Structure 1
């Protein structure tokens, strides 16, 4: 079942097995979430329709000495991106004096990284202010602050900062902030052996025929899907076989099995954390690199790729273990690099 926080744009996605992942929380016009090591992110949600997409992204790792990062992003279709922007909080210049603030451009995205003093001032002002207005030559945009205080308070709670000196919202005199948990370390193993394209196609064709006998409705037989079937070595005589089972305008769902010594009758589904389908062996827009043992996926909520679920796994020699997971449940023009991270690790 699709989690309730997911926006309408994700209604087209296959149902993901998200029970093991914490869900981002919605706070009016803001969203917040934390990963497995208590690193937390808060995002403002841009209006659904705007000439310039503007949003704030606050990120803070866990731990007593963790610094806060706050960035303003502007995404637009401009011939020449602005070099500076001017900000106002409910009509009042911000920072005080209203000086133009320098920004950096990367393609169609412009970014402003706030300094610590301005971060503290903006968080304090958000208790009463409702809107951050952004202006530059040919550019006007605004960021809603409705829900920002609640989102940051929730982050304080998740990181054990309530009533401490490092809290974002509910400050106090205490200093006993929990240390950040250690990142999981995943040992990725490259595939051992080789499989020729001809042999891989033959193995995939045999498995597709076998799967059709087991469940006639599991995989569509569209020619474009069949052409995308592939097989890779894992170790010894074990092969990973991917059958492209369904496709839409911007999503292709692939089901993965393992087969020993080409015995497709005994092939087993390769289950993934957050995998789709009854067996958890399906991924959307998946890409496997046998040289590194890494598998990635990107389930798009719509063609723009500004919402959905993105993640990766590492082959350990026995299973695919999750290494990263990020989500964005609202289709509002926010790029994947800024989505809320729910799981991360050190894979080597």
Structure 2
């Protein structure tokens, strides 16, 4: 099942490369049954995609930071509902056993996780060059993971991190020793809001904002009582206010548009610039949540109700603008948890 707003999602991904401010473009690439991407500091991730009709879901997540000495990580996830502290499993690559010396551990949701040891990662990737499928046997269930595209995905990551033909490459090794270091992590200082607003003041501001849009002939936000009840306003520093109007609602997505105003005068309203918004107007976000105590804004545009695909991102109020602080995504709805999605932008927020 594809994401419902896939055209907009693909446009979003395409825009990332154009909008990148670092030396490395943020990208996500498809390699048959695998997806791979790197963020703004050259941290790269690759994911296997379970089949759309799989009843037993398992997937592999590979990741590696930039720099010659950065280790490669590989984790196997198996979805289920195991209640025991650990679960025995067997791994086979095209029918040939791949030895692991420990059991998988379920998390709070029951998903099993097996983290490969460093020596196992290299051995697994070497074996995967000749294999097409990983079979995972657990009590009462067998799941499969396609390896089609896995080698190409890791080779692409080696290329993005400048490892090709070096001793630290995982696929195309060489004698080279020079590998670019990770880029510095951007640092953003977030500013908290100033004070609080009463419910009456919030209602007055949001009502005035909607009336101003109507006078201007704007039809961005639907005029619906249920949506209006979700309108919000927050005081920021310097006497400014942030207004969020609920513009449209779906089964599991609420789209909100944001404006900044001086004092309480909606005539001064300016759309908040939010790069990578989800519509033609970049002051809108889906399932957004602003915390005035921290000055941070988060959003989660769901591709479907269970939240196994879509876009997750965050911004921080700096006192002048909202700066992007994080972005991760999953373009296909295949049961992959948001924590495992491919990160395309990261930063440190103080």
Aligned to 2:22: none
Task: Give the alignment partner of residue 280 of structure 1, picking from 262, 282, 302.
Answer: 282
**Deviations along 1:254-295, whole A, 9 cap, x unmatched?**
000011121112211011121234441000000000000000
For the residues of structure 2 that align with 1:209 and 1:231, how far apart are their CA atoms? 15
Aligned to 1:203: 205
> 1:28-67 alignment to 2 at 5 Å?
28-67=32-71
For the residues of structure 2 that align with 1:216 and 1:119, how far apart are their CA atoms? 55
Query: Deviation at 1:126?
Result: 1.1
For the Cα contact (< 8 Å) 1:82–1:136, is it kept in 2? no
Aligned to 1:4: none
Question: Residue 220 in 1 paired to residue 222 in 2?
Answer: yes
For the Cα contact (< 8 Å) 1:286–1:298, is it kept in 2? yes
Aligned to 2:16: 20
Task: Give the alignment partner of residue 132 of structure 2, picking from 130, 133, 145.
Answer: 130
Question: How many residue pairs get matched?
Answer: 339
Aligned to 1:140: 142
Structure 2 residue matching 1:264: 3-state secondary structure:
strand
> 1:242-257 alignment to 2 at 5 Å?
242-257=244-259
For the residues of structure 1 that align with 2:38 and 2:339, how far apart are their CA atoms? 15
Question: Residue 230 in 1 paired to residue 226 in 2?
Answer: no
Mark the CA change 1:116 to 1:79 in structure 2 (over 3 Å): closer, same or farther. closer
For the Cα contact (< 8 Å) 1:240–1:258, is it kept in 2? yes
Aligned to 1:325: 327
Task: Give the alignment partner of residue 294 of structure 2, picking from 292, 295, 300.
Answer: 292
Question: Residue 11 in 1 paired to residue 11 in 2?
Answer: no
For the residues of structure 2 that align with 1:12 and 1:250, how far apart are their CA atoms? 16
Question: Residue 89 in 1 paired to residue 93 in 2?
Answer: yes
Mark the CA change 1:207 to 1:192 in structure 2 (over 3 Å): closer, same or farther. same
Name segments (4+ residues, structure 1) moved above 4 Å.
12-18, 77-82
For the Cα contact (< 8 Å) 2:6–2:331, is it kept in 1? no
**Deviations along 1:303-335, whole A, 9 cap, x unmatched?**
110000001011100000011000100100001
Query: Deviation at 1:174?
Result: 0.6
For the Cα contact (< 8 Å) 1:313–1:322, is it kept in 2? yes
For the residues of structure 2 that align with 1:116 and 1:243, how far apart are their CA atoms? 49
Query: Deviation at 1:222?
Result: 1.6
CA RMSD of aligned residues (A): 1.7
- The TM-score with structure 1 as length reference comes to 0.93
For the Cα contact (< 8 Å) 1:225–1:244, is it kept in 2? yes
Gapped runs of 5+ residues in structure 1? 1-6
For the residues of structure 1 that align with 2:83 and 2:293, how far apart are their CA atoms? 41
Gapped runs of 5+ residues in structure 2? 18-25
- The TM-score with structure 2 as length reference comes to 0.93
Query: Deviation at 1:117?
Result: 1.6
Mark the CA change 1:122 to 1:12 in structure 2 (over 3 Å): closer, same or farther. closer
Mark the CA change 1:134 to 1:296 in structure 2 (over 3 Å): closer, same or farther. same
For the residues of structure 1 that align with 2:295 and 2:253, how far apart are their CA atoms? 23
Query: Deviation at 1:200?
Result: 1.0
Mark the CA change 1:315 to 1:148 in structure 2 (over 3 Å): closer, same or farther. same
For the residues of structure 2 that align with 1:290 and 1:12, how far apart are their CA atoms? 32
Structure 2 residue matching 1:343: 3-state secondary structure:
strand
For the Cα contact (< 8 Å) 2:253–2:301, is it kept in 1? yes
